[in-house]
Structure formats: C-alpha cells, structure tokens
Amino acid sequence: MRVEAGTAELVEIPSVLERLSRRTRSETGKLMLQGMLPAVSVKSARERQDLLRSFMRYRDIRGEMTWDGRLKPLAPLFDSARETALLTGAELLQFRILIGLSKRIREDIRGAREEVPGIERLAEGIRDLEKELDRLQVISDDGQLYDHASKELAGIRSSLRDLTSRARAKCSELTSRANLAPMLQDRVVHFRKGRFALLVRVEDSGRFEGIAMDRSSSGKGVYIEPKEVVPLNNRIEILRGEEREEERRILSSLTAMLLEKESHIVETELALARIDVLHASAQFLDERNWILPELDDRSRFHFQNLWNPLIGQGCVPVSIHCGERFRQLVITGPNTGGKTVVLKSVAIAVFLALSGLPVPAAEGTLVGWIDYLAADIGDEQGIEQSLSTFSSHVRRIITMMEKAGRDSLLMLDELGAGTDPQEGAALGIAILEALKDRRSLVLATTHHNPIKRYALGSSGVETAGMEFDPVTLAPTFRLIMGIPGKSNALFIAERLGMPKNVIESAREHLLGEARTTEQIMSELFDKQAELESAGVAMAEERKELASLRRELEEKIKRINDRQEKIIGAADRRAREIMEEAERSAREMLSRLEGAAESAARKEYGKAKKDSQPLKERISRREESLAKKRIEREGIPQVGDSVRLGGTEAMGVVESIAGGKAGGGAGSMRGEAPLESLVKGRGRAAPAAERKAPTLHGPAPRGGASSV
C-alpha cells in the first residue's frame, strides 16, 4: 500500500507506531517498528500475519523465545570500523552477543518445526556465522581479550604476571629493611604512572636511592621508584607495550573479519529485529481489544468496535464499514463530536492491518486491499507558497484525485469548508461525483446540508452521523450508520437561554424545504439511534444465549463421551468373556473322547449359536457409535491426537491408507479402522511428551496387542 506524503502524520500513524514500539526489547526492533511500512500486496500482508501467528503458537508451546537484553544497534559500530579499522573489545562484544543470540534462536526454531508449522520462516535472514562466533569467543563479557586470544598474548601476559609479582615482592622487601623503613611514609607498595614505587618522607627523599616520580597530595611525601626495582619496571613497561600491540593486532583482525561479513551480520540483525517486532505485536494481541483482522482481496473494510489507540480507555468504539453496498460514506455531526477521530481511526487501522500488525478492534473485523491511502485533514497552511487554508486543502485534494483509483481509500475532512458555504458545498459534491466515477473508497465529513442531501439521494453513497446528547448538550461520540447527523445549533442556543423570539425568528429564516428536510433527518437520526441501542441489547442477549448453548453442548458431549466409554468397556468385556468361554470349551473338547465328545460338541454348537445374537448386537452398537462420532467430530487426519474408541489408549495418526490409520506413541506402532478412533483435543504433542501405546486396545490374552 502506498501512503500519500504527509498523510501518515495527518492521521497520527507515527505516534501509534511509537506506542507499539514501546513493547520491543531492542533499539533495532524499536526502530524497525517505528519505520514500519505496509505490505506491497494482500498476499504479503497475510504472510506477515501468518508469521505472527506462528510466533504466538511457538510461545504458547515453548514459552518466550530466547532473547538477550544487551543487544545494541550495530550500524554505528560498522561506521566506526570502516573509519578506523579497529574496534574495541567492548564494541566487538556487541557482535558476539548478537551472533550468539541468533545461533540460539535458530537452534530453537529448528527444534520447533514439527510442533509449529511455518515457524522456520522466522529463521529466514539469520545467517550462518558460526566461524565468526568462534573467533569472537576470545572476548570476555566485560569486553576484554582472554589470554588465549593468541599464543603471543598468552606468553606476554604470563611474563607480565611474573615480573609484576617480582617487582611487588622486591618493593615489599625494601619496606622491611631496617635502614629504609624509617624513611617511608607508609609500608604500602604504590603504583604510580605505571611503575611500582614507595612513598618516602619529604625530609628523607634526598637520602633514598631511586627516581623521584611525584609528590603526594598532602605534600608530605614523595613517590620514589627504588633503584633496585627500576630494571623490573622497565621490563614491565616494555611488555605492556608488546601486550598493547598484540591486542591491537587481534582486535584489528577481528574487525576486518566482521567488515567482510557485514552484509550477513546486517541481515541477521534485521531478522532479530523482526522477531522483536513480533514480540511487541504479540504483547498487544494478549490484551483484550486488539486482534488480527481478516484480510480480503477486494477494496473494502468492516470494523467492529474500532477505537483510536491514541485516545485510550476513554475512546468510544465505532462500528463502520464501506466498500460493499456503497463506496462513499459521508459523516456529519456536531463540532468536536468525533468525526475527525473516526477518519483517523480508520486510516490507522487500515495501515496497521496491511502492515501485518494488530488492530484495535473486535473480532469480525475485515480489511480489504487498499493500494493508495491519502487524507486531507486539519487546518494546515502551505506557508512557503503563501497559500490560504482553502487553497492548501484544494491542492492536496487535487493530488489525491490524480492518484486515486478503484483500490484507493481517501479521507476528506470537512469537505467544502473554508470558503463560501454555497460554493464549498457545490465543489464538495463535484469532488465526490468525480471520485465516484473512479470507484474509490471515500470517507468524508461535512456540515453542509447540500452534501448531506446528495449523500441521501445518490446510489453508492451512504450517510452516518455522530450522536449528540440533548440532555448534557455534549457529543456521545457514537457513530450511527445510515442516517446523517442532525443540526443542533438552534436547540443548543435555546437550551443555553437564547430568547425564544430570536429562536423562532431563526426558524422562520430557514427555507421551508431545508427546514422540512432537517426535521425529517432529525427524526430519522433519533429513530436510528433507538434501533442501534436496541440492537446492542439484542446482540448482548444473543451472545449470552450462544455462551449458554456452547456450555450445554459441552456438557452433552461429555455425557456422550462417558456413555460411549462405559458401553465400549462393557461390550469389550462381554466379547472377552465369550471368547474366553469358547477357548475353554475348545480346550475341553480336545481332551474328550467317544460319546462324551459328541455330546459336548453338540452342546458347544448350541451355546455358540445362542451367543451369536449378542455378538451381532455388540457389533451394531459399535458401528452406530463410530458413525455418530464421525458425524460429530469428523474423520481423524494425519497429525491428530486420537483415542481408540471405548478405551483410554492415546496416540497420534501418522498415516492413513485403505480406511485405516497407522501411528502410535514412542516405540509402539499399530493400525486401527478410522471409524474406531475418537479425535482428541488439539494437534500432536511433542514426541518427548507422548506416552504409552496408541491405536492399540488391550492385548488379547496370549497374543500381541493389535486392533
């Protein structure tokens, strides 16, 4: 979607994005969200929504995605690296943090691919920087190089530690000498200007052999480097220089490595910023009044309980639609009644929806494809061109009309204002007619009665009004679709104490036709407001009834499930008893001979024949229960959690062929007829959480378990 220059600022989109960005956890994520642009197609917007849904499913299953709050933008560091070819250890640490986090996130995403379809798209852009990460492991968490950064550095630092220890020990030994101790201000080994020294009394400093370095802050002592320590200090200073050179060489090498991989690192940083944006978006979806709207290919919108996020809790939600029966909506009503807020709210919501972001509205909201969004709102003047307010608006509208097409959405605030009312109304009507020919979506606000009458009498144009409370003399900010807002000027003046003769005179000055039209519109507006209030009450009742119905259906389902389990268990037990009896009878027959065997076989045949009706009744009952389950829940699909009918055996469907499902849990596998399976709630659990055999009933005695 293209947004006309200046429109985002007019409808306050940057302020909304700034508020959303407060939920991000990194500066790069914050900047990405604040600079968010709408998708280039409805397909791309849907893909953004799908990615957000995948992120939320991941979070629901595995908890919050790995993150590191130490992330900082790398762009300034790359600028510095190109300029100096040398980054400090603390600066290189920022790269190690980002690359290390990206590795952990990519591993987490790979591990969740089976549980969260589509989650792998989150890892797109995270480049393989394993080698670079390995080399950066020489940087400690406080930004220092470890000794093992190179063999040379390890050797230098080892020598430094040895010499430092020797120099310190030598100084300590000097403080204990009987001939020197009285000259010392204290017996502490001091470190001054990078060299070990002792603090000698001023009066004894001329007799103490060594190099004077500095006076103490009190002036009573002189820091002197003892002559015995000078060679050690000299060697330490040389080694420190070698250490700095080696550190510089290592840091320079690491800097060059990162510059070579700049494009890959930037891609990775952007991928993490996108994840941070998804995190912020999910935070808003967790709240009550934010949703991901349905997206549509056609240019239209239908918002349910839309509210302006910049107003907050005090904002009265509006339900508004355009693009189906009509392509233009003309909104009228009192000043400060909320007309402009409605225009801004719609523009903000369309922008957010087509950016793949949450929208402050209720379920049932739909946003179609808009390829061009433009608005003319406010009283801004083109000061540089010395244009009047009216001229500034006209120039903006001309630009909008030149670019508008079938899939455009234009916001025209106070259409026809800023000039002679009669000419302004005529111009406003002509603009609406021109945009009507282009089939553009238009939301316009106005005070002009001719424009109201045009909207009432034109096909493809609808009216709406902002409600006004006659008792409090204040707007209610409710939008009433289908009826233009009524004029309240004379009513308000009368309520505020304007003399009756003045009010009557004003009414007489109104043209008869205009007065009649205004009265009719006023009555229609009041009636529509009553109907909407009644509709809200009915909607609440329907919502309550739907909730009760769902609750009742759940109870019935639980009863049916329990009944099926009881009947299934009883039928299974009956089968087991009959099968056990038949098996025992066959074993007994095998041991009989002669007349006894003949009589027993006759009795066995009669008993088997008598039990056949019971077996048939059990089979019919099982078929009936299976049919009801399928009608109620549908046939299980691959990936569904299932239970073997009449048992507690659970598992996952892994394949379907020939009317049978194959699958299991853990190392147990088997097959079962599709009609014998009961669908569980949700999709398959992670493999590590699956328990016991599935698609298997209780094992027949003496044989393997299989259905």
H runs (alpha helix) in 65-125: 75-84, 89-111
Q: pLDDT value at position 701?
A: 35
Considering the domain delimited by 150-241, tell me its CATH architecture.
Orthogonal Bundle (1.10)
Superfamily of domain 294-485: P-loop containing nucleotide triphosphate hydrolases (3.40.50.300)
Give the Cβ contact number of residue 539 at 10 Å: 10
**C-alpha distances out from residue 487 to 56, 492, 518, Å:** 48, 10, 7
CA 358 to chain centre: 8
Selection from 482, 356, 273, 440 nearest residue 39 by Cα:
356
Q: Which CATH class is domain 635-689?
A: mainly beta
- Where does 438-498 have alpha helices with state H? 449-457, 489-495
Residue whose entry in the numeric block shows the structure tokens 């089976």: 114
Direct distance between the N- and C-terminal alpha carbons of the chain, in angstroms, rounded to an integer: 57
> In a 10 Å sphere around its CB, with 0-12 CB exposed, 13-18 middle and 19+ buried, how is residue 660 labelled?
middle
CA dist., res. 599 & res. 601, Å (int): 6
Q: Give the torsion through C-alpha atoms of 157, 159, 165, 171, to 10 deg.
A: -120
Beta-bridge partner residues of 196: 191
All residues at 6 or more sequence positions from 74 whose CB lies less than 8 Å from its CB, including other chains: 94, 95, 98, 265, 266, 269
Give me the residues paired with residue 320 across strands. Answer: 303
Q: How far is CA 616 from CA 218, 220, 262, 580, 612, in A?
A: 111, 114, 75, 18, 6
> H/E element holding 522?
helix 512-591
Listing DSSP states for 361-383 in one string gives S-TT-EEE--SEEEEE-S----T
> Widest CA span of the chain, in angstroms?
138
User: Are 440 and 412 spatial neighbours (Cβ–Cβ below 8 Å)?
Assistant: no
**For each successive 10 residues of the chain (707 residues), what is the average pLDDT?**
96 96 96 96 96 95 94 96 96 98 96 90 94 97 96 97 95 92 92 93 91 90 94 96 97 98 97 97 89 96 94 84 94 81 96 97 96 84 50 91 96 87 91 95 91 88 81 73 68 75 74 50 56 66 79 79 77 78 75 69 73 77 70 73 67 77 67 72 45 39 35
Q: Which helix (H) or strand (E) element contains residue 527?
A: helix 512-591
Among candidates 593, 441, 55, which has minimal Cα distance to 281?
55
Take residue 556 and report the two structure tokens written for it: 């019935």
Nearest to 675 by CA among 576, 575, 566, 568: 568
The Cα 510–Cα 210 span in angstroms is 109
Q: Residue 259 in contact with residue 251, Cβ under 8 Å? A: no
Asked whether the beta carbons of 345 and 318 are under 8 A apart, the reply is yes
